[in-house]
């Protein structure tokens, strides 16, 4: 059966966009039923005994699933010591509790895609049941067989983010702790970032309350942090609106906001912005050539993380699964968990960040400058002129070079530089995306969607055009003069 999974995923990508099924977007992974009620189950030839019921303590609140595959049911998973009350579970917490988030398919204890291997390794390294919590945001038995069972291809982030947010907040309240660590596999890691960065059920990053103070460490395992390529559908589309916005916080481009300073980053993809303050530890581990990496190479990294690393775990589905259970992968991120943050001030000059990071504009652009490390003052210059004190955001209307630096008690930071280039106002606007993304963005009315689908087919990426003064998008390219 395993050799057929890759074909199932790609066939599903085609099927999900047919007009008769695009509103659902769910894929059946198949598979036989199995019993997890405190017994054993087999994952890739290895038997795991989870030594407990797949449930929560009796006084943990029931949370209703608000969206996605499990909508309307009580959220499932496992966590806490079932024999103990809230107060007794609280008394056993000695480490930062860990939240486990599975990927796109299965449930928290699924025989292939569940997080039990990580649960076992955490237990072997001193964690107790009160400190480990796993969520089944697709339903308690998703992937065991049943209607609309398995993978969600349409908008899995926005339809499941409320469930992740409600669950993590409930665990924090139940245990009476200030922070949790999050280990997410694939889709689960982006949902973990969504929790930190306030992703809303409308798919808008930063609309909900940010939870950067509630997370100590985020471990991303083989996640599509930059999408699954330019031809992927809706939320998975690299370069699409959803993916692009996932990297912007307070108008600053930062994959790892509130993360490490440069001196605490290892591996490639180092970056520091004015948002970074050592509040969150980020670890991004990927499988070279696995199911996700093969679709968009490098999508598993997180620029500015404490650690970025790629493992050779096998290609395709097998490698994507193995990163969950591989002991060397676990040993790599274990030291980054339960990491009390040193609040001693860093004795370094501050770093100034000029925003927006994009340098091209049309009529005008508002420029904002920020700095980290308790900067006392920020200075800027325009077109190599004299530096002046930065007070508030300002607009520029012509091509301009902006430079900035900041100072604190430890000295003057390096000069940041951005050249903003004014472009001629276009006679028309164009957008290239999948038909579904066009429809979701309002460029194609849903009443016109079947016509476009019939004309182009489900997987075609289409460019639409809108001329100045018009509100209508068309697939006919404007004629040049």
Kindly report the CATH number assigned to the domain that includes residue 393: 2.60.40
Burial 302-315 (b: 16+ CB within 10 A, else e): bbbbbbbbbbebbb
Quote the distance between the C-alpha of residue 439 and its chain's center: 23
Same domain for 185 and 109: yes
* Domain count along the chain: 3
CA distance 448 to 413: 55
> Does 254 or 233 have the greater pLDDT score?
254
Q: Residue 340 has what pLDDT? A: 62
CA distance 186 to 330: 15
Q: What CATH number is given to the structural domain containing 294? A: 3.40.50.1820
Query: What range does the domain containing 374 cover?
Result: 352-422
CA distance 175 to 146: 34
Same domain for 231 and 378: no
Question: pLDDT grade, residue 47 (50/70/90)?
Answer: very low
CA distance 337 to 219: 9
- Whether the link from the prior residue into 334 is cis, omega within 30° of 0, is no
Same domain for 405 and 322: no
Which of 306, 336, 366 corresponds to the end of one domain? 336
Same domain for 254 and 116: yes
CA distance 15 to 153: 10
Per DSSP, 254 falls in state -
Q: Residue 49 has what pLDDT? A: 43
Q: Could you tell me if residue 343 is inside a domain?
A: no
Quote the distance between the C-alpha of residue 472 and its chain's center: 33
Q: Residue 394 has what pLDDT? A: 96
Same domain for 194 and 122: yes
Q: What is the pLDDT of residues 119-130, one digit of tens each?
A: 999 999 999 999
Same domain for 317 and 379: no
Closest to 384 in 3D by CA, of 360, 409, 363, 402: 402
Q: Residue 385 has what pLDDT? A: 96
Q: Could you tell me if residue 165 is inside a domain?
A: yes
Question: pLDDT grade, residue 344 (50/70/90)?
Answer: very low
Q: With 0-12 CB in 10 A as exposed, 13-18 as middle and 19+ as buried, what is 287?
A: buried
Q: Could you tell me if residue 231 is inside a domain?
A: yes
Q: Residue 341 has what pLDDT? A: 55
Which of 275, 309, 336 corresponds to the end of one domain? 336
- Which pair of structure tokens corresponds to residue 280? 């969150």
H runs (alpha helix) in 309-401? 316-325, 327-333
> Is the per-residue pLDDT at 313 higher than 90?
yes
Q: Residue 2 has what pLDDT? A: 35
Q: What is the pLDDT of residues 12-36, one digit of tens each?
A: 333 333 322 333 333 333 333 323 3
- Which pair of structure tokens corresponds to residue 207? 């609309």
> Is the per-residue pLDDT at 39 higher than 60?
no
Share of the chain above pLDDT 90, in %: 49
Same domain for 160 and 282: yes
Query: What global pTM score does this model have?
Result: 0.71
Q: Could you tell me if residue 110 is inside a domain?
A: yes
Q: Could you tell me if residue 473 is inside a domain?
A: no
CA distance 96 to 131: 7
**DSSP characters over 53-91:** -SS--TTSPP-B--SGGGTTSBPEEEES-TTS-HHHHHH
Same domain for 330 and 446: no
Same domain for 367 and 320: no
Same domain for 228 and 259: yes
Q: Which residues, 6 or more positions from 337, have their beta carbon under 8 angstroms from its beta carbon?
A: 95, 96, 98, 181, 183, 216, 217, 219
CA atoms within 13 A on the CB side of 218: 35
Q: With 0-12 CB in 10 A as exposed, 13-18 as middle and 19+ as buried, what is 411?
A: exposed
Same domain for 269 and 360: no
CA distance 119 to 79: 10
**DSSP characters over 112-163:** TT-SHHHHHHHHHTT--GGGEEEEETT-TTTTSS-TT-EEE-SSHHHHHHHH
Angle (CA) 293-139-5 rounded to 5° is: 35
Q: What is the pLDDT of residues 451-463, one digit of tens each?
A: 888 888 766 778 8
Residue with tokens 């999948």: 434
Closest to 354 in 3D by CA, of 340, 365, 345, 339: 365
Q: Residue 437 has what pLDDT? A: 78
Under 8 Å between Cβ of 239 and 301: no
Share of the chain above pLDDT 70, in %: 84
Q: Could you tell me if residue 23 is inside a domain?
A: yes
Q: What is the pLDDT of residues 366-422, one digit of tens each?
A: 999 988 778 999 999 999 999 999 999 999 999 999 999 999 999 999 899 999 998
Q: Could you tell me if residue 112 is inside a domain?
A: yes
Q: What is the pLDDT of residues 121-169, one digit of tens each?
A: 999 999 999 999 999 998 887 777 654 457 787 888 888 999 999 999 9
Question: pLDDT grade, residue 478 (50/70/90)?
Answer: confident
Which of 336, 369, 387 corresponds to the end of one domain? 336
- Residue count of the chain, please give it: 481
CA distance 418 to 405: 12
Same domain for 173 and 88: yes
Q: How many CB atoms lie within 10 A of CB 399?
A: 14
Under 8 Å between Cβ of 225 and 302: yes
Beta pairing partners, 79: 133
Under 8 Å between Cβ of 153 and 18: no
Q: Residue 456 has what pLDDT? A: 86
Q: Could you tell me if residue 141 is inside a domain?
A: yes
Under 8 Å between Cβ of 31 and 172: no
> Is the per-residue pLDDT at 342 higher than 50?
no
């Amino acid at each position: 059966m395993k050799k057929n999974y890759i074909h199932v995923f790609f066939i599903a990508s085609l099927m999900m966009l047919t007009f008769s099924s695009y509103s659902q977007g769910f894929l059946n992974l198949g598979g036989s039923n199995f019993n997890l009620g405190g017994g054993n189950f087999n994952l890739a030839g290895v038997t795991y005994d989870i030594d407990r019921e797949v449930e929560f303590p009796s006084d943990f609140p029931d949370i209703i699933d608000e969206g996605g595959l499990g909508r309307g049911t009580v959220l499932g998973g496992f966590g806490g010591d079932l024999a103990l009350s809230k107060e007794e579970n609280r008394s056993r917490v000695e480490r930062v509790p860990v939240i486990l988030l599975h990927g796109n398919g299965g449930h928290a204890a699924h025989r292939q895609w569940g997080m039990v291997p990580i649960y076992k390794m955490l237990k072997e390294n001193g964690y107790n049941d009160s400190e480990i919590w796993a969520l089944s945001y697709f339903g308690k038995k998703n992937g065991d067989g049943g209607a609309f069972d398995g993978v969600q291809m349409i908008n899995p982030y926005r339809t499941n983010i409320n469930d992740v947010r409600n669950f993590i907040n409930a665990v924090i309240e139940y245990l009476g702790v200030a922070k949790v660590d999050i280990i997410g596999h694939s889709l689960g890691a982006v949902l973990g970032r969504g929790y930190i960065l306030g992703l809303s059920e409308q798919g808008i990053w930063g609309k909900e309350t940010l939870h950067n103070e509630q997370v100590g460490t985020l471990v991303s395992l083989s996640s599509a942090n930059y999408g699954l390529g330019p031809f992927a559908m809706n939320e998975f589309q690299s370069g699409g609106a959803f993916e692009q916005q996932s990297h912007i916080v307070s108008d600053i481009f930062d994959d790892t906001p509130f993360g490490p300073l440069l001196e605490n980053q290892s591996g490639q993809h180092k970056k520091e912005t004015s948002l970074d303050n050592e509040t969150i530890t980020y670890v991004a581990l990927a499988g070279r050539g696995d199911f996700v990496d093969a679709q968009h190479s490098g999508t598993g990294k997180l620029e500015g993380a404490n650690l970025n690393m790629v493992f050779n775990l096998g290609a395709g589905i097998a490698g994507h699964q193995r990163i969950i259970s591989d002991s060397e992968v676990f040993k790599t991120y274990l030291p980054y968990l339960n990491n009390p943050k040193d609040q001693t001030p860093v004795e370094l000059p501050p770093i100034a960040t000029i925003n927006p990071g994009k340098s091209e504009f049309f009529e005008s652009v508002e420029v904002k400058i920020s700095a980290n490390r308790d900067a006392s003052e920020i200075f800027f210059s325009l077109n190599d002129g004299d530096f002046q004190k930065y007070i508030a955001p300002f607009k520029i209307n012509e091509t301009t070079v902006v430079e900035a630096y900041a100072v604190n008690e430890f000295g003057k930071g390096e000069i940041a530089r951005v050249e903003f280039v004014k472009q001629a106002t276009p006679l028309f606007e164009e957008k290239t995306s999948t038909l579904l993304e066009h429809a979701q963005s309002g460029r194609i009315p849903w009443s016109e969607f079947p016509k476009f689908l019939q004309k182009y087919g489900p997987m075609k990426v289409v460019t639409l055009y809108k001329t100045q003064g018009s509100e209508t998008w068309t697939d006919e390219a404007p004629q040049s003069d």
